[in-house]
Amino acid sequence: MEPERAGQPAPADAFLNRAPPRSASGSHLIRHCIGIDLGTSGIRAEILDASGASLGGLRRAWPAGSRNEEPGGPDDPEVWWAAVANLLRQAARRLPDAPVAIAVDGTSATLIAVDGAGDPLGPALMYNDARAVEEGAYLRGIAPPSSAAHGASSSAAKLLWLRRRGRLKGAVRVLHQAEWISGRLQGRHDRGDENNALKLGYDPMQGRWPDWWLRELGPVAELLPDIVPAGTPLGRITAAAARETGLHRDSRVVAGTTDGIAGFLATGVDRPGTGVTSLGSTLVLKQLSEQPLFDPAAGVYSHRVLGRWLAGGASNSGGAVLAAHFTPTEIEALARDIDPARDTALGFYPLLQPGERFPVSDPGLQPRVTPRPSSDARFLQGLLEGIAGIEAAGYRRLQELGAPAVTEVVTVGGGAANPQWTALRARVLGVPVLRAEHEEAARGAALLAQIGARAAG
């Protein structure tokens, strides 16, 4: 079975088009879309109606106390599937007996090898698995600077590690987490999406697996999936999947994405001049661009998303630095004594340890968090100003690489709720700073399902 429509999915402005999509057969209207997010702490599902309004979210945590490389651990694909099937059964009970569209996002660079039936040949190598140190170093010598295959935790390095360790015997494909779940729903395991494939060596500018990678892999290149753009309609779920999930047999599967891209889509941002900042443990910036942006030394690379380019970078600074000095309760209380309009001039560069990756790549960069003022509120403000300064420098770096200047910044993550930090950032950035109305990756996946359902016609 081929994808229902070749080429690009619906364009980004499909977010604004709320006409209910029909199924490919035309016999049923697809009125509801479901996004599945396989995250680091658990799985989430979001149900959207044809207007994009949420009908509710569902959650399920990964088993507590389980460990990798043990049956039932977080790297066990059967655990993923059981959780997905459980949430889809719950979703089906909320919906009329009609087809839905489904898209799945998963953790970036989580890789598994599967046999001809799509069954995993072992546990997955998870997103944060960095055991492929030798392979990562080897890739630095053969992969072009613009490739996202660099690094010990890339899925390209993991594939080379599996090859070296003889773990590919009987393998027919290698797939990422979201791709395997999508394959389980449709009963075929030969296709992947552009966003997940990026860290497996895929070249989004050429739209294919590059020659340098195919030469390196040799016969193992046959394990690489066929790649389609995120949002491409793939086909119907199988009868077996319909029984396991309780969904209508005419439900459709849409090519998914990574959890980071799904989180961006959830914000609804569709203009290159709007930056999206994630204030979590680390500071992450994303921005749409009409051209791909690359700064390999600083970890900047670009995904192709709905016909546009999404570039981003991540600093080693962020909320983890704040947590090293203050509890969340202390931060909330101390922030009330901050005047965001007045600069402390402390000149901090908050890091937990030496080394920065973006907006500058300097493994020897030293943290600057001294001298510490006697006032805890002033010290906190200095830290917040330092992180805001890094954010401003990050957007300037993206602009130097070819992105447009930001005219506003939308914020996600825990730090978005702090009004003093928001006002301080607006002063430092010189543009309005807004809090995203939505940021759940499951919602972004559901929006992707909606776009794909419309593309199917």
pLDDT over threshold 50, residue 44? yes
CATH number given to 12-262+442-456: 3.30.420.40
User: Which residue carries 């199924």 as its tokens?
Assistant: 23
Closest CA to 178 of 165, 167, 193: 193
DSSP string computed for 41-110: SEEEEEEE-TTS-EEEEEEEEPPTT--TTSTTSTT-HHHHHHHHHHHHHHHHHHS-SS-EEEEEEE-TT-
pLDDT over threshold 50, residue 387? yes
CATH number given to 269-437: 3.30.420.40
The alpha carbon dihedral of 415, 421, 426, 429 has a sign of negative
Beta strands in 281-407 (DSSP E): 283-289, 301-305, 308-315
The confidence score (pLDDT) of residue 333 equals 97
pLDDT over threshold 80, residue 399? yes
The confidence score (pLDDT) of residue 452 equals 93
The confidence score (pLDDT) of residue 41 equals 83
pLDDT over threshold 50, residue 16? no
The confidence score (pLDDT) of residue 17 equals 45
Closest CA to 320 of 366, 387, 395: 387
The confidence score (pLDDT) of residue 21 equals 52
Asked whether the beta carbons of 274 and 288 are under 8 A apart, the reply is yes
The confidence score (pLDDT) of residue 457 equals 65
- Separation between Cα atoms, residue 97 and residue 369, nearest integer Å: 59
User: Which residue carries 């598994």 as its tokens?
Assistant: 112
The confidence score (pLDDT) of residue 62 equals 83
- Separation between Cα atoms, residue 175 and residue 109, nearest integer Å: 9
The confidence score (pLDDT) of residue 188 equals 95
Q: Which two tokens stand for residue 448?
A: 């992707």
- Separation between Cα atoms, residue 96 and residue 298, nearest integer Å: 49
CA 28 vs CA 93, 103, 206, 452: distances in Å: 18, 19, 37, 16
Band of pLDDT at residue 24, cut at 50, 70 and 90: very low
- Separation between Cα atoms, residue 295 and residue 76, nearest integer Å: 34
How confident is the model over 78-109, as pLDDT tens digits?
Answer: 999 999 999 999 999 999 989 999 999 999 99
pLDDT over threshold 50, residue 198? yes
Mark residue 117 as left, alpha or beta (left: phi above 0; alpha: psi -120 to 50; beta: remaining). alpha
Average pLDDT, the chain: 91
Q: What is the DSSP letter of 441?
A: H
Rounded to two decimals, what is the model's pTM?
A: 0.89
Task: Give the HSE-up count for residue 223: Cα atoms under 13 Å, Cβ half-sphere.
Answer: 29
The winner for highest mean pLDDT among 146-150, 174-178, 300-304 is: 174-178
Say which range, 14-28, 32-46, 60-74, 160-174, has the weakest mean pLDDT: 14-28
How confident is the model over 265-281, as pLDDT tens digits?
Answer: 999 999 999 999 999 88
Q: Where in the chain is the domain with CATH 3.30.420.40?
A: 12-262+442-456, 269-437
What value does the mean pLDDT take over residues 176-183?
98
The confidence score (pLDDT) of residue 74 equals 85
Say which range, 25-34, 139-148, 439-448, has the weakest mean pLDDT: 25-34
